Amino acid sequence: MALALDWCFTDARVTAVLIDPLERNVRARAFYERLGFVEVGPRRFGSDDCVVYRISREGWLAQA
Q: What are phi and psi of 9, to 5 degrees?
A: -85, 0
pLDDT (0 to 100) of residue 3: 96
Mean pLDDT of all residues belonging to the chain: 96
pLDDT single digits (tens) 4-34: 999 999 999 999 999 999 999 999 999 999 9
| Average of per-residue pLDDT across 23-51 | 97
Domains in the chain: boundaries: 2-63
Question: Is residue 5 exposed (0-12), middle (13-18) or buried (19+ Cβ within 10 Å)?
Answer: buried
CATH of 2-63, one of 3.40.50.300, 3.30.420.140, 1.10.3720.10, 3.40.630.30: 3.40.630.30
Q: Is the pLDDT of residue 64 over 80?
A: no
**pTM for the whole structure:** 0.92
